[in-house]
């Protein structure tokens, strides 16, 4: 039995393929470099949902429908938002999304995909004592998210950077959150329930919760002054280095390269450029330390390392990084939920009982 279901094939999918030895990600027949920076998030949503809704429009109308969905989410949930702020920003977003109807229509799907991009800026503004800003239904999805966060229209470069990020993380095979989503979808509980399962799984630091800790690590190393000794110390104490390692990739995560290039484009001579230069040194030190500590493993940089730098440059606080991940991954979750439902089969594996048996009375 594989403890973490390693190498178990639990679904057939047309949505994405992760080639762990080749370091390639394919999304519906397109390689990641073909999509990232070239297709908008709305176009990729259209690509992922294609065939799963009878009334799916073309990509131009889909972008407009996604904008409309942002407005609907805001109108529906705006009155409840202040009461959600007693918990962390990710749980607050998840609680807001739990209030969306558990339907199966395209409108339900688009509201779920739009919701993290609307709720995250609104909750962050409320937390810092500012009024949430309503979406602009005609704006680009990533640009609207940044405007709702910062109150000003973001530069084309930053808008493009966030859009590229959302595309880069939109889907990734049967990762933990997508599997959780498919399990719930297989019970026919509805799209909101399925996406909430994905949200729960994504939160953990071994999955989508890693980029916040990457920033904490970079800050700690900057304060310490010696990357290699700080990293070695972590390993000696049994800690994992955030932003490195992957269950499937044995080579570099291709998403890391895409996001590193995006951060470099944003960087220049300013703070982001300095941060990138420092992060590159830490990355090299971490790869050296991991190679020495675990020579039998190939532990490489994963998507979360450069995600952290990109989202920091975009102005998101570290505790909201996983929210932004969810804003991209929501499209994949919805598509996988629909795909799972088409099989009509409940996911119900077996466990092997290893506990004591009751005494048998003769």
Between 198 and 243, name the residue whose CB sits nearer to ligand ACO. Answer: 243
Q: Which stretch binds ligand ACO (CB under 6 A): 69-77, 79-87, 245-253, 256-264?
A: 245-253
- For residue 278, which phi and psi values (nearest 5 degrees)? -65, -45
Output the six-digit token pair for 151: 């109150």
Taking contact as CB under 6 A, which single stretch among the options 11-19, 95-103, 221-229, 240-248 is the one that binds ligand ACO? Answer: 240-248
Among 44, 110, 241, 309, binds ligand ACO (CB under 6 A): 241
Interface pick for ligand ACO out of 35, 73, 183, 242 (rule CB under 6 A): 242
Q: Give the number of residues in contact with ligand ACO, rule: CB under 6 A.
A: 20
Task: Name the residue number minimizing CB distance to ligand ACO.
Answer: 245
Nearest distance from residue 106's CB to ligand ACO, in Å?
27
Closest approach of ligand ACO to the CB of residue 247, in Å? 3
Q: Which is nearer to ligand ACO, 292 or 346 (CB)?
A: 292
* 122-124-128 Cα angle (round to 5): 115
Phi–psi pair at 209, nearest 5 degrees = -90, 10
The stretches of 128-251 forming alpha helices (DSSP H) are: 141-150, 156-168, 176-185, 191-202, 211-224, 227-236
In this structure, what token pair is assigned to residue 69? 């969905």
Q: Is 190 in the site for ligand ACO (CB under 6 A)?
A: no
Q: In what order do the strands lie in the sheet with 30-31?
A: 16-19, 24-27, 30-31
Of the two residues 127 and 250, which places its CB atom closer to ligand ACO in the complex? 250
172 part of the active site = no
Select which of 72, 234, 283, 304 is catalytic.
304
Catalytic, 304? Answer yes
How is residue 292 written in tokens?
A: 């020495």
CA distance 195 to 182: 9
For ligand ACO, the binding residues in 261-280 under the rule CB under 6 A are none
User: Hunting for tokens 């607050």 — which residue is that?
Assistant: 92
Q: Does 8 bind ligand ACO (CB under 6 A)?
A: no
Cα–Cα distances (Å) from 306 to 44, 117, 203, 350, in that order, read 21, 20, 18, 38
192-211 residues near ligand ACO, rule: CB under 6 A:
205-208, 210
Least distance from ligand ACO to the Cβ atom of residue 283, Å: 12
Angle at 98 between CA 95 and CA 99, to 5 degrees: 100
Identified binder of ligand ACO from the candidate list 65, 111, 246, 336, rule CB under 6 A = 246
Mask of contacts with ligand ACO, 281-310, x by CB under 6 A? -------------x--x-x--xxx------
List 246, 312, 336, 339, catalytic entry: 246
Nearest to 102 by CA among 190, 198, 195, 183: 190
Q: Are 46 and 173 in contact (CB under 8 A)?
A: no
Q: Toward ligand ACO, which CB reaches closer, 107 or 248?
A: 248
232 sits near ligand ACO (criterion: CB under 6 A): no
Geometric angle at alpha carbon 97, from 88 and 317, rounded to 5°: 35
User: In this structure, is the dihedral angle defined by the CA atoms of residues 154, 121, 151 and 42, taken in order, positive or negative?
Assistant: positive
Q: Which x/- pattern over 150-169 shows residues binding ligand ACO (rule: CB under 6 A)? A: --------------------
Task: Judge whether 328 and 39 are in contact, CB under 8 Å.
Answer: no
Could you give the CA distance from residue 49 to residue 42 in angstroms, rounded to a whole number?
A: 11
Nearer to ligand ACO, 206 or 277 (CB): 206
Question: Which residues form the interface with ligand ACO (CB under 6 A)?
Answer: 205-208, 210, 235, 240-247, 294, 297, 299, 302-304
Residues marked active site are found at 246, 304
């Amino acid at each position: 039995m594989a403890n973490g279901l390693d190498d178990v094939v639990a679904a057939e999918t047309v949505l994405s393929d992760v080639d762990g030895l080749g370091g390639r990600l394919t999304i519906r027949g397109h390689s990641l470099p073909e999509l990232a920076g070239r297709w908008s998030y709305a176009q990729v949503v259209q690509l992922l949902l294609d065939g799963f809704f009878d009334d799916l429009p073309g990509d131009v109308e889909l972008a407009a429908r996604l904008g409309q969905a942002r407005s609907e989410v805001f109108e529906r949930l705006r009155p409840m938002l202040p009461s959600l702020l007693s918990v962390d920003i990710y749980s607050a977003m998840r609680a807001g999304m739990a209030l969306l109807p558990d339907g199966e229509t395209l409108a339900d799907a688009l509201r779920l995909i739009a919701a993290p991009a609307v709720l995250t800026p609104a909750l962050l503004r409320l937390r810092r004592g500012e009024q949430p800003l309503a979406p602009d239904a005609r704006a680009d999805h990533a640009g609207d998210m940044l405007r709702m966060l910062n109150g000003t229209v973001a530069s084309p470069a930053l808008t493009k950077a966030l859009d590229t990020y959302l595309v880069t993380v939109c889907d990734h095979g049967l990762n933990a959150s997508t599997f959780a989503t498919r399990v719930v979808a297989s019970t026919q509980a509805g799209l909101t329930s399925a996406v909430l399962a994905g949200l729960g799984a994504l939160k953990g630091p071994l999955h989508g919760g890693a980029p916040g800790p990457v920033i904490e690590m970079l800050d700690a190393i900057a304060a310490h002054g010696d990357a290699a000794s700080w990293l070695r110390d972590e390993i000696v104490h049994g800690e994992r280095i955030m932003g490195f390692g992957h269950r499937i990739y044995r080579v570099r995560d291709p998403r890391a390269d895409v996001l590193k290039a995006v951060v470099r484009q944003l960087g220049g001579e300013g703070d982001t450029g300095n941060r990138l230069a420092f992060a590159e040194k830490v990355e090299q030190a971490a790869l050296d330390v991991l190679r020495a500590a675990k020579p039998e493993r190939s532990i490489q940089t994963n998507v979360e390392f450069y995600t952290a730098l990109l989202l920091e440059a975009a102005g998101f606080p570290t505790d909201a990084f996983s929210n932004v991940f969810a804003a991209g991954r929501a499209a994949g979750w919805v598509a996988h939920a629909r795909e799972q439902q088409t099989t009509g089969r409940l996911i119900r594996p077996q466990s092997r009982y290893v506990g004591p048996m009751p005494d048998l009375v003769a």
